[in-house]
Amino acid sequence: MTDAILTARPILERFSLVGRTALVTGGGQGIGRAYAHALGEAGAAVAVVDLSLSHANDVVDELKAKHIECFAVQADVSKADDVQAMVDAVVQKWGKLTIGVNNAGIARWSAAETMTEAEWDQMLDLNLKGVFLCAQAEARVMLKAGYGKIINTASMAGTIAVTPQNQVHYNASKAGVIHLSRSMAAEWAPRHIRVNTISPGYTRTKLVDDLLLTPEGQAILPRWMGMTPMARMGEVTDLQGAVVYLACEASDFMTGSDLIIDGGYCAW
Ligand SMILES: NC(=O)c1ccc[n+]([C@@H]2O[C@H](COP(=O)([O-])OP(=O)(O)OC[C@H]3O[C@@H](n4cnc5c(N)ncnc54)[C@H](O)[C@@H]3O)[C@@H](O)[C@H]2O)c1
């Protein structure tokens, strides 16, 4: 029997994404922007996808300055036609898609007893259906190729009911992303497509800054920090190692898992 440790490529080579192609939704700012940089720095060509083409183009300019092969795609990931066009654009440009990072999402606060049907639908359409549509379109290409890595952004709020903010629709959407991802992982594992989630805790981005600017938010920040053992917000750079790990061959035996990166919030 061969000794895998002695025959495997050196570990940092197995973290390389040279020759891989990726797309990142919600790549125009925040966590998605950090993911686009990380995947590109590790060697992948990266399609930066966002509802805002100007934000996606700004990130493309940043990546090009680092000599990363990339282009911008405008898409609303809650619309099936946009999602298909996004995947088609990558395949047309690079002939393959090896890494799909489905990260676009929104967060809103709204009390359960007064939440409107429209608020519920908007949240679930983007945060859950959007992830399904993207993963489905990506997998159709990956299944034909016989290899692929799908990484969905969930949240610690998909495992625990965060407090004191009211956001049952958000929490339910993220719990849905975690179980959707596990279910797709089980379905596609025999055909070599891996599906995992990254679940950030409170991370400094525009999404969180906007919520914290509200009067309700001002009072909430100290409570969040009191419940976070590391007593600080996460930075988007705290998440970059995880996305490279899940995208590269070093994690090839990992599927259906959820990586919680939260400064210890869920540890107690
Ligand atoms: N920031 C946090 O603390 C935190 C914690 C847990 C999970 N998350 C999740 O991380 C993901 C990214 O969050 P962020 O904090 O970077 O948010 P953000 O608002 O800073 O960035 C989100 C990006 O998604 C894009 N987007 C929004 N709707 C879209 C659509 N329909 N189609 C395509 N793109 C769209 C926006 O234009 C924006 O560029 C979300 O899924 C969010 O739920 C964030």
Q: Is 79 known to be catalytic?
A: no
Distance (angstroms) between ligand 1 centre and the Cα of 10 equals 35
In a domain, 253, yes or no: yes
Residues lining ligand 1, judged by CB closer than 6 Å?
25-26, 28-32, 50-52, 55, 75-78, 103-107, 126, 153, 155, 200, 202-203, 205-208
Look at the chain and report how many structural domains it folds into: 1
Residue 81 has pLDDT above 90, yes or no: yes
Beta strands in 130-244 (DSSP E): 148-153, 193-200
Task: Tell me what the mean pLDDT of segment 112-124 comes to.
Answer: 98
Q: Is 147 known to be catalytic?
A: no
Pocket test for ligand 1, best of 23, 33, 48, 50 (most atoms within 8 A of CB): 50
Looking at residue 117, its pLDDT comes to 98
In a domain, 267, yes or no: no
φ/ψ of residue 44, rounded to 5: -75, 155
Q: What pTM was computed for the model?
A: 0.98
Beta strands in 89-157 (DSSP E): 99-102, 148-153
Q: What is the pLDDT of residues 207-230, one digit of tens each?
A: 898 888 888 888 899 999 999 999
The whole-angstrom distance between residue 220's C-alpha and the CA centroid of its chain comes to 25
Q: Residue 144 has which token pair?
A: 């034909």
Q: What is the pLDDT of residues 255-267, one digit of tens each?
A: 999 999 999 999 9
Containing domain of residue 144, as a range?
A: 12-206+234-261
In a domain, 255, yes or no: yes
Looking at residue 214, its pLDDT comes to 86
Question: Helix and strand tally (H, E) in the chain?
Answer: 11, 7
Q: What is the pLDDT of residues 228-246, one digit of tens each?
A: 999 999 999 999 999 999 9
In a domain, 134, yes or no: yes
Task: Tell me what the mean pLDDT of segment 80-102 comes to.
Answer: 98
Taking alpha carbons only, the member of 171, 124, 127, 133 closest to residue 153 is 127
Looking at residue 91, its pLDDT comes to 98
CATH number at residue 88: 3.40.50.720
The Cα 49–Cα 134 span in angstroms is: 11
In a domain, 139, yes or no: yes
Residue 152 has pLDDT above 90, yes or no: yes
